[in-house]
Amino acid sequence: MTQYLISKSRKHGGVIEFVTAGRVSDDGKHVLDVMLYKREDVVAWIRRGYNVNTSLVYTDEYGVNRWPSNAKVELTRDGRYITTDPNHTTSDNLGTLPSC
């Protein structure tokens, strides 16, 4: 199943406009196509049934970027926003990801 990891987000007026994300390779060992994506792209991935998670990227002792999967990203109840906390609020919320 296709999986994406989101490492950063950019908000404007409280709404996420862009995220830095990448697609996990089929073997799960690499993150590919890392670039800025629109929030609408993330919404489309989730609607297609793709796994989308946040990731706090770090560099290991060998200088390799690691992308551990953290919180699952879901749609808010109205289907308009992305969140890691699917409560009753209708706003974007990806926790404490750094800004891109």
In a domain, 36, yes or no: yes
What confidence score (pLDDT) does residue 75 get?
A: 93
40/89 Cα distance (integer angstroms): 18
Res 8: pLDDT: 94
Q: Note down the domain range covering 40.
A: 3-83
Residues of the chain with pLDDT under 50: none
pLDDT in tens, 57-78: 888 888 888 888 889 999 998 8
Nearest CA-CA partner of 76 in 86, 63, 65? 86
In a domain, 90, yes or no: no
Residue 99 located in a structural domain: no
Indicate whether 94 belongs to any domain: no
Q: Is residue 60 situated within a structural domain? A: yes
The tally of domains found in the chain comes to: 1
